[in-house]
Amino acid sequence: MTVRRSVVRGTGSYLPSRVLTNDELSTLVDTSNEWIVQRSGIRERHIAAEGEYTSDLATNAARAALDNAGIDAAEIDMVLLATATPDHTFPATAVMVQEQLGIAHGCAYDLQAVCSGFVFALSNADAMLRAGHARKALVIGAETFSRILDWQDRTTCVLFGDGAGAVVLEAVDGEGAADDRGVLSSRLRSDGRHLDKLYVDGGPSTTGTAGHLRMQGREVFRHAVGMVSDVIDGALTDAGVEADAIDWFVPHQANKRIIDATARKFGWPIEKVVVTVDKHGNTSAASIPLALDIANRDGRLQPGNLVMIEAMGGGFTWGAALLRW
Ligand code: ACO
């Protein structure tokens, strides 16, 4: 039976040039390189320059992905951008990216699921491609979390960074089997009973300001591994694939301890885990496509590999997707 699949044709990413190290952060708030590395695995993060916006980061990542795919922007008929830090309340940042790429056909819109945004966007784009609404899609995660951090709050400001990553997806007819290339399965979840554990204390309809990120870090940590394990299990079951068949685990890069505990649970050795949190910090929706691009360009991701991605974030939202590269 022919089944339409969304195949990754190319990847791209962009990081602002300014690097903020833990030692430099220690001069701004009462913290230390040792504390940050021990609790999170983060050593440095990138920070967007004044006048450099989420749309700029996203457009740079999208251009790199198109280049990597060898596909012209004119062939793209959908731009889906996951972000919690849009340039403006509206129009959607995706439409700004579409305009900067010179695309005036198809559709472009933003998707908001915070740190899980890229998994949600990939799953949504896959559904759109399979339903025939588009043929070639740009799926982007881009964030400027530095703009919503409270730089006096050491419990949050040390954990996040700015960046963008993108993939080009193309609808291709497969056999409907687990050895097809493309997105094989995805599971998405949310549960608003956890709204107060990770949120931003402002918004257009409430304070009229962008607000600042607030987090009960311990509570997030307590739920993270169980929640992502559940959707990983679901994505494996839906695709009829065993955990030990996974070639690469590309998790959301929030915290090295969460990554290690999840990988351990599924028996994936550290050599199969793509880790960028040390250099990028938590870039929210950008973290997975950034990590995919790095592993794609350095040759770790090879055609035919099974790749598991997962994320969890504010809401809570969480999700996982299984792809054959
Ligand atoms: N530097 C030094 N000390 C600090 C810092 C800091 N930056 N931040 C907090 N502390 C102190 C606290 O004040 C506390 O001191 P006290 O014992 O005197 O009260 C002590 O360190 C321990 O604080 P905890 O919050 O209990 O530290 P914990 O071991 O839980 O680590 C952390 C905190 C890193 C936030 C951890 O809970 C965590 O990783 N949580 C997950 C959060 C996360 O990943 N969020 C990302 C967004 S969601 C997502 O993407 C999955």
> Which of 134, 156, 174 is the last residue before a domain boundary?
174
Ligand 1 atom at shortest distance from the alpha carbon of 114: 50
pLDDT of residue 178: 87
* Closest C-alpha among 81, 82, 318 to residue 197: 318
Cis check: omega of the bond before 316, within 30 degrees of 0: yes
CA of residue 256 to ligand 1 center, whole Å: 13
Active site residue 105: no
**Domain shared by 110 and 247, yes or no:** no
Residues 6+ apart with CB under 8 A from 302: 247, 325
Distances (CA, A) of 314 to 122, 162, 224: 18, 17, 11
> Which of 114, 143, 174 is the last residue before a domain boundary?
174
**Domain shared by 162 and 62, yes or no:** yes
* Token digits of residue 134: 């588009």
Ligand 1 atom at shortest distance from the alpha carbon of 160: 46
* Residue having the nearest C-alpha atom to atom 8 of ligand 1: 155
Position of tokens 């998790």? 251
**Domain shared by 14 and 147, yes or no:** yes
Q: What is the pLDDT of residues 170-185, one digit of tens each?
A: 999 988 888 999 999 9
Contact by Cβ (8 Å): 57, 165: no
* Token digits of residue 254: 């929030």
Residues 6+ apart with CB under 8 A from 70: 9, 10
**Domain shared by 138 and 202, yes or no:** no
**Domain shared by 62 and 144, yes or no:** yes
* Token digits of residue 142: 């881009």
Considering 115, 157, 194, 212, which one is annotated as catalytic? Answer: 115
Q: What whole-number distance in Å separates Cα of residue 41 and Cα of residue 17?
A: 21
Q: Which helix (H) or strand (E) holds 216?
A: none
**Domain shared by 104 and 231, yes or no:** no
Contact by Cβ (8 Å): 41, 221: no
Beta-bridge mates of residue 110: 81
**Domain shared by 163 and 227, yes or no:** no
Q: What whole-number distance in Å separates Cα of residue 128 and Cα of residue 26?
A: 46
Number of domains in the chain: 2
Q: What is the pLDDT of residues 9-60, one digit of tens each?
A: 999 999 999 999 999 999 999 999 999 999 999 999 999 999 999 999 999 9
* Closest C-alpha among 259, 251, 245 to residue 305: 245
Beta-bridge mates of residue 319: 188, 311
Q: Which helix (H) or strand (E) holds 222?
A: helix 217-239
**Domain shared by 154 and 206, yes or no:** no
Q: Which helix (H) or strand (E) holds 200?
A: strand 198-200
**Domain shared by 29 and 158, yes or no:** yes
Active site residue 223: no
**Domain shared by 157 and 267, yes or no:** no
Distances (CA, A) of 184 to 3, 76, 201, 303, 324: 10, 22, 37, 14, 7
**Distance of alpha carbon 95 from the chain centroid:** 19
Position of tokens 């700029």? 56
Cα R_g (the chain), whole angstroms: 18
* Closest C-alpha among 161, 65, 80, 150 to residue 113: 80
**Domain shared by 111 and 192, yes or no:** no
pLDDT of residue 211: 98
264 φ, ψ to 5°?
Answer: -60, -40
> Which of 174, 201, 234 is the last residue before a domain boundary?
174
**Domain shared by 129 and 207, yes or no:** no
* Closest C-alpha among 300, 311, 263 to residue 115: 311
Give me the average pLDDT of each 10-residue run along the chain (325 residues): 95 98 97 98 98 98 98 98 98 98 98 98 98 98 98 98 98 91 98 98 98 97 96 98 98 97 98 98 98 98 98 98 98
Active site residue 46: no
- CATH code at 160? 3.40.47.10
Say what the pTM is: 0.97
* Residue having the nearest C-alpha atom to atom 7 of ligand 1: 154
- What is the domain range of residue 256? 182-324
Q: Is the CB of 39 under 6 A from ligand 1?
A: yes
Q: Is the CB of 224 under 6 A from ligand 1?
A: yes
